[in-house]
Amino acid sequence: MRYAEITGWGKALPPTVLTNADLEQLVDTSDDWITARTGIKERRIANGEATEMAEVASRHALAAAGLQSEQLDLILLATCSPESLVPASASYLQARLEAVNAGAMDLNANCSGFVYSYVTATALIAAGVADRILVVGVEKLSFITNYLDRNTAILFGDGAGAVIIEATEEPVGLMASELGVDGTTTELLCTPVDGTRGVPGPRDPATSSITLQGQEVFRRAVRMMSESGAAVVRDAGWDLDDVDLLVPHQANQRIIDAAARRLGLDSSKVFTNIHAYGNTSSATVPIALTEALEQGRVAPGDKLVFAAFGGGLTWAAAAVQWGARVEPISTSDAALPKTDKSVMEVLKPNLDFFQKGGR
């Protein structure tokens, strides 16, 4: 029987930091208010394109796996903020990496996108379609975030995380999964006019940013992340006490805490980094997994649970049996370029758009 093991991991975070103090200059808020409600202290803002971040994260993942890009069979790029609809952003990433033997495609399940993509990649490997797959979660949410809207400006950030998944005969990797959606609730978290719903002409600020009905999304996120997490643990033949680490989508610290309580998991078994990066949508889980490995929070043979929830409304969970290796085979010096611009200078195109009525 073919299994699929995570053999490489990497991340990329833009150097520009947007702090809560910075947001105090833009909207009626405070560090205490944001921290109490979300757990977020700062987030990163991209000064380039999303696939630039995806490339850096991917090069670190390839190095950790000891692979060259031409050894990849497929690239799955999870994003809800693509550089373009035609072509898919995965095409740009394939070109950046010179992954000449790989197919490439985007997958959009919003904040659940990485877990959806991980499950899809595992199934393709199990079916013998591919042997080595790069799975990336990347977002440039600063493009669709209105930093004059207090409800959403405090939440979102930019970043990328990536993993390499390889075929193996060892019984490791994905042991159980659940993918779900309730498409009747799309209005709870959306960009109102996007894709072919838009009309030819300039973007309208009133309909071009993320909108969020926070309390209802919060309630559903806690329920579905905890229920799907419990379901995959059961389907894997584990007990909740067996779980060594929950790697959840980093949307809100209170959501993470509430879901962990429902699962009966102590905080020592939950990885969080939302304070540093905010909600990077499909990138949160691979970034968190990479940092968990870097910090020694994952040991050989550990039992992990990934759980996510996002627009759509989608949810996804995976029970993952970790393999023997938790150290990278090699490292990469890939890095995003630094900038001399201040955070407000980086945000200027966004602020001009939402203040001055579109483009």
Q: For residue 177, give the 3-state DSSP assignment.
A: strand
The yes-or-no answer on residue 249 being catalytic is: yes
CB 274 within 8 A of CB 39: yes
- Pair type for strands 103-107 and 74-78: parallel
CB 152 within 8 A of CB 35: no
232 vs 177: CA distance, rounded Å: 5
Catalytic residue of the set 108, 111, 146, 252? 111
In the numeric block, which tokens belong to residue 183? Answer: 């498409």
Find the helix or strand (DSSP H, E) in which 5 lies.
Answer: strand 3-12
φ and ψ of 72, to 5 deg: -75, 140
Alpha-carbon Rg of the chain, whole angstroms?
19
Please give the C-alpha separations between residue 125 and each of 93, 117, 158, in angstroms, as whole numbers. 21, 12, 29
Write down the pLDDT at residue 130: 98
Please give the C-alpha separations between residue 247 and each of 16, 78, 96, 287, in angstroms, as whole numbers. 25, 17, 29, 10
Torsion sign (Cα): 281, 261, 306, 162: positive
Q: Tell me, rounded to whole angstroms, the distance of Cα 102 from its chain centroid.
A: 22
In the numeric block, which tokens belong to residue 116? Answer: 């959806």
120 vs 352: CA distance, rounded Å: 40
CB 161 within 8 A of CB 114: yes
Catalytic residue of the set 60, 249, 252, 350? 249
Does a cis peptide bond (omega within 30 degrees of 0) precede residue 82? Answer: no
Sequence-distant (6+) residues with CB within 8 A of 64 are 7, 8, 9, 10, 164, 328, 329, 330, 331
Q: Tell me, rounded to whole angstroms, the distance of Cα 230 from its chain centroid.
A: 21
CB 121 within 8 A of CB 4: yes
**pLDDT tens track of the chain, all 359 residues?**
899 999 999 999 999 999 999 999 999 999 999 999 999 999 999 999 999 999 999 999 999 999 999 999 999 999 999 999 899 999 999 999 999 999 999 999 999 999 999 999 999 999 999 999 999 999 999 999 999 998 999 999 999 999 999 999 999 999 999 999 999 988 888 887 777 777 666 777 777 788 878 788 889 999 999 999 999 999 999 999 999 999 999 999 999 999 999 999 999 999 999 999 999 999 999 999 999 999 999 999 999 999 999 999 999 999 999 999 999 999 999 999 999 999 999 999 999 988 865 54
The yes-or-no answer on residue 111 being catalytic is: yes
Write down the pLDDT at residue 212: 77
Write down the pLDDT at residue 189: 82
Spell out a b/e string for 318-346, using b for 16 or more CB atoms within 10 Å of the CB, else e. bbbbbbebbebeeebeeebeeeeeebeeb
298 vs 304: CA distance, rounded Å: 8
Amino acid at 127: A
Write down the pLDDT at residue 59: 98
Catalytic residue of the set 47, 146, 252, 279? 279
Please give the C-alpha separations between residue 321 and each of 43, 262, 300, in angstroms, as whole numbers. 31, 22, 9
What CATH number labels 1-359?
3.40.47.10
The yes-or-no answer on residue 80 being catalytic is: no
